Amino acid sequence: MGGAAHAVRDASRCFVCGPDNPIGLKLRFAREGEGVRAEFTPSDLHVGYEGLVHGGILAALIDDALANIWFARGQEAVTAKIEVRFRREVRPGERLVVSAHPTGSKGGMATAKAAVARPDGEVVAEGTGFLAVKDD
């Protein structure tokens, strides 16, 4: 992972965190220790079965949180492999906390964990990822 931070590609139209994507989720990740954190409240537009947030939305939150660990450091990272575990149903209107932190690195690859939780800490989905990190 080492190396100096460099300019990363524009992600302003990213579906999860891009402020310029008209149909995006518009999460704003902030650094928290070595990781990142954001909040999101899904709406009725994010359902699969009526009344339940689609698992793909939760997986997208996890995927983007993993990459944003490095994006917040001025580095690019893309997910090479992700594993997601869904633990609880989520209903539209529930406020969620999305967080991720690195767990290791070797060469140009890194590992990280992410979670989507309710404000009380109850985890609704969690994931691990292997990411390719661009190094100068």
pTM above the 0.85 mark? yes
* pLDDT confidence bin for 106, thresholds 50/70/90: very high
- Report if residue 41 sits inside a domain: yes
Number of domains in the chain: 1
- Report if residue 3 sits inside a domain: no
| 91 C-beta neighbours (distance < 10 Å), count | 11
- Report if residue 85 sits inside a domain: yes
What pLDDT is attached to residue 1?
38
Range of the domain at 39: 30-133
Residue 10 carries which DSSP code?
P
In the predicted model, is pLDDT for residue 4 greater than 70?
A: no
Cβ contact 118:87 at 8 Å: no
What pLDDT is attached to residue 9?
67
Task: For residue range 37-93, list pLDDT tens digits in order.
Answer: 999 999 999 999 999 999 999 999 999 999 999 999 989 999 999 999 999 999 999
In the chain, % helix, strand, coil (3-state, to 5) comes to: 15, 40, 45
User: What's the mean per-residue pLDDT of the chain?
Assistant: 90
What pLDDT is attached to residue 136?
55
Nearest to 75 by CA among 105, 113, 115: 105
CA dihedral 28, 54, 117, 89 (to 10 degrees): 160
- Report if residue 71 sits inside a domain: yes
In the predicted model, is pLDDT for residue 117 greater than 90?
A: yes
The DSSP bridge pattern shows strands 109-117 and 35-40 to be unpaired
Between residues 30 and 135, which one has the greater pLDDT?
30
